[in-house]
Amino acid sequence: MTQSVEDPRLLKGIGVRKRILRDVERYIEAQPGIGKLVSIAIGDIPEVAVYVRNQAKVAASVNLPFEQVFWDGDITQEECKTRLQQMNDDPHVLGVILQRPVPDHINVRSLQSAIHPLKDVEGMNPASIGNIIYNDVALAPCTAAAAVELVRETGLNMEGLEVVMVGHSEIVGKPAAMMLMAEGATVTVCHHMTRSVAMHSRRADVVVVAVGKAHLIGADMIKPGAVVIDIGINQTDQGLVGDVDTDAVKEIAGWVTPVPGGVGPVTVAILMRNATVAHQRQIAAGWLD
């Protein structure tokens, strides 16, 4: 069945993205001389270039300075950390984005830990993720925050919602689950050892999926009227698809995010919003005038 561009069941991200970026642009207009975002790409990895171009384009649209830095693929772990420390100490650097993937010899978690939490606009430092446990979600991982933003967009009262999170990765599933709990939702997390994902998802008001398995979630796994947030991105012979069988599920669900066009557009907007939060926190810490 062909998806209609006007289908109200499709929860598209473009409207949320525009609203967030409008607020970011207003903030930046009121902050002359705001520092730059620095994007770090290590090695020649083609897919990284797509992310960088998109981030640079969005940053330019809100007048946020954006610098692209490319490090040789044979750079050592220690040299990476030294350069990151220099950026931590540089008052002209507002935030640091470490593009992934990185070369095999680089420990990405170690480098994420080396980025100061107040410059961690991606929300990947363990301290940033740990803050979510204490309901401090302002600098959360961007994709997880985008998923929560789209649930909020439905207008449903988050308090008491039954949510099932399918997938428990450290940078998406777990943070998203904790953020939803911070909103007052009752969250069940399913993963590869869960005996019956369908048993849980069929009772959920909201199903969030981030697994990386094409069309894992079908219509028979969704409660009528539920919200379905599809974070998955899978390249198939039929093109780019999510973890949800969108055409089938939208006949049952109240809302379902399309892939592409759902969570993705909001994710980069959240990155820009995180930059404004980082700026505010750096001022509060006495780093900036």
pLDDT tens digit string along 81-97? 999 999 999 999 999 99
Q: Which residues are paired to 165 by β-bridges? A: 189, 208
pLDDT at 175 over 50: yes
Confirm whether 32-116 and 142-264 share one CATH topology: yes
Q: What is the pTM of this model?
A: 0.94
Q: What pLDDT shows up at residue 46? A: 86
Q: What angle do CA 157, 174, 81 make, to 5 degrees?
A: 130
With cut-offs at 50, 70 and 90, classify the pLDDT of residue 72: very high
Structure token digits, residue 257 = 């995010």
- Contact call for residues 175 and 132 (beta carbons, < 8 A): yes
- Contact call for residues 205 and 181 (beta carbons, < 8 A): no
Domain ranges of the chain: 32-116, 142-264
pLDDT at 3 over 60: no
**% pLDDT > 90, the chain:** 93
Has domain 32-116 been given CATH number 3.40.50.10860?
A: yes
CA distance 204 to 226: 7
What DSSP string describes 10-79? Answer: B--SHHHHHHHHHHHHHHHHTSTT--EEEEEEES--HHHHHHHHHHHHHHHHTT--EEEEEE-TT--HHH
Structure token digits, residue 219 = 């219509």
pLDDT tens digit string along 225-243? 999 999 999 999 989 999 9
Q: What pLDDT shows up at residue 5? A: 54
Please report, in angstroms and rounded to a whole number, the separation of the first and last CA atoms in the chain. 57
pLDDT, average across residues 202-208: 98
Which fold, 142-264?
A: Rossmann fold (3.40.50)
Q: Which residues are paired to 131 by β-bridges? A: none
CA distance 77 to 71: 11
Kindly give the pairing relationship between strand 239-241 and strand 234-236.
antiparallel
pLDDT, average across residues 88-110: 96
